[in-house]
Amino acid sequence: MIRVGIGYDLHPLVESRRLILGGVHIEYAKGLMGHSDADALTHAIIDALLGASALGAIGEHFPETDPQYQNANSIKLLEKTVELVHKAGFKVVNVDANIIADEPRLGPYVEEICATLAEPLQIAPDCVSVKPRTNERFGPEGKGEAISTQAIVLIESR
Ligand SMILES: [Zn+2]
């Protein structure tokens, strides 16, 4: 059996935060605001994996009110999510994701992001696709106020 899932996330960009996307530190004057490390790309992928497995939403598994997730490394949360997917009888086949932000330029980081995400997903790096794109100066992503992300995943029976 195969199943698909869709995920979305958005975090505001603020000063005095490190920018982490897909577990990779991006050199930039601003970072994403959030309870954990605010890794919007990894969060969208977690959301999609939970969706494909019909296991509920990310907030139910890793609640923002729980102090153990303060500044949490989202890659660790992705590892836990993949464990849940495996327990539900599935394995990950591939992931495709969009990062929507006019700034910073993310192209040079894509290869490292795919390699970093492939490990907790337990798939080959060429089964992870990450596509940065701009929002043509429209909306919060176009004005440097936020970064949003979208992910779609395919899982199949183990
Ligand atoms: Zn998030």
Lowest mean pLDDT among 10-24, 51-65, 100-114: 51-65
Q: Which of 36-45, 52-61, 66-75, 93-102 has the lowest mean pLDDT?
A: 66-75
The CA 59 to ligand 1 mean position distance, Å, reads 9
Q: How far apart are CA 61 and CA 78, in angstroms?
A: 11
Q: What is the mean pLDDT of residues 21-41?
A: 96
Q: What is the per-residue pLDDT for 101?
A: 98
**Left, alpha or beta for 16 (phi > 0: left; psi -120 to 50: alpha)?**
left
Assign 47 to helix, strand or coil.
Answer: helix
pLDDT at 68 over 90: no
Does residue 146 carry a pLDDT above 90?
A: yes
Number of domains, the chain = 1
Q: Write the CATH number for 16.
A: 3.30.1330.50
CA of 68 to the centre of ligand 1 (A): 15
Centre of ligand 1 from the C-alpha of residue 156, in Å: 25
Structural domain for 142, as ranges: 2-157
* Residue 110 parent element (H or E): helix 110-121
Output the CA 108–ligand 1 centroid distance in Å. 23
> pLDDT tier at 69 (50, 70, 90 boundaries)?
confident
127 exposed, middle or buried (CB, 10 Å; 0-12, 13-18, 19+)? middle
